[in-house]
Chain A
Amino acid sequence: MSDQAAAGPDPEGAAAGQSLPASDLQGIVAEVRAEVEGRRRAGAYPASLLDRLDAPFHADEGLEAPEASALVESARPLRSGRPVVGGVTVLAKRVTRRLLSWYVAPIARDQTRFNLAVLRELRSLERRVARLEASSPARPDAEGPESRDE
Chain B
Amino acid sequence: MRDALRDAGLRSEIFAEEIAQRLLGEARPAEQLAGSVEAGDVVLYHLSIGAASALLFAALPCRRVIVYHNITPAEYYRVVSPRVAYWLERGRRDLARLAPAVELGVAGSAYSAAELSAVGCPATMVIPPPVDLERLSPRPAGASGAARLISVSRLAPHKRQDQLIRVLAALRAGGQPAATLTLPGGGDDTASYVAGLRRLARELDIAEAVALPGRLGDREIGDLYASSSVALSASEHEGFGMPLLEAWAFDLPVVARAAAAVPETVADAGILLPDADPLIWAAIIDRLIRDGGLRGLLVARGRRRLSAFSDRLFRERMAELLERLHLRS
Contact = CB atoms under 8 A, between A and B. Distances in A.
A31 B217 CA distance: 39
A18 B289 contact: no
Given A3-B176, A10-B293, A32 B192 contact: no
Interface in B80-104: 80-81, 83, 86
Contacts, number: 176
A132 to B, nearest CB: 17
A6 B143 contact: yes
A134 interface: no
A15 interface: yes
Contact of B294 (A13, A45, A58, A62): A13
B301 interface: yes
B2 to A, nearest CB: 22
Contacts of B79: 59, 61
Interface in B53-99: 79-81, 83, 86
A142 interface: no
Interface residues of B, number: 76
Interface residues of chain A: helix, strand, loop or mixed (majority): loop
Given A16-B297, A22-B267, A32-B284, A52 B192 contact: no
B148 A6 contact: yes
A33 B174 CA distance: 15
A123 B268 CA distance: 41
Which among A21, A58, A109 has the greatest number of chain B C-beta atoms within 10 A? A58
Contact of B188 (A4, A33, A67): A67
Contact of B147 (A6, A71, A73): A6
Interface residues of A, number: 59
B144 A6 contact: yes
Contacts of A13: 292-297, 299-300
A6 B170 CA distance: 17
A32 B119 CA distance: 40
Contact of B52 (A45, A62, A65, A105): A105
Interface string A48-75: 0100110101111111110110110101
Contacts of B280: 29, 32-33, 36
B179 to A, nearest CB: 8
B18 A112 contact: yes
B203 A55 contact: yes
Nearest to A73: B83
Given A4-B176, A32-B287, A17 B188 contact: no
Nearest to B145: A5
Contacts of B7: none
B268 A16 contact: no
B178 interface: yes
A84 interface: no
B153 interface: no
Interface stretch (B105-113, B270-278, B318-326): B270-278
A5 B146 contact: yes
Interface string A101-116: 1100100010011000
Given A6-B143, A7-B295, A67-B189, A45 B279 contact: yes
Nearest to A6: B229
B246 interface: no
The 5 A-B pairs at the shortest CB distance, nearest first, are namely A13-B296, A17-B300, A22-B268, A65-B191, A6-B229
Interface of B: 17-18, 21, 31, 52, 79-81, 83, 86, 142-148, 157, 162, 166, 169-170, 173-179, 187-196, 199-200, 203-204, 214, 229-230, 251, 253, 267-268, 270-273, 277-280, 283-284, 286-287, 289-301, 304
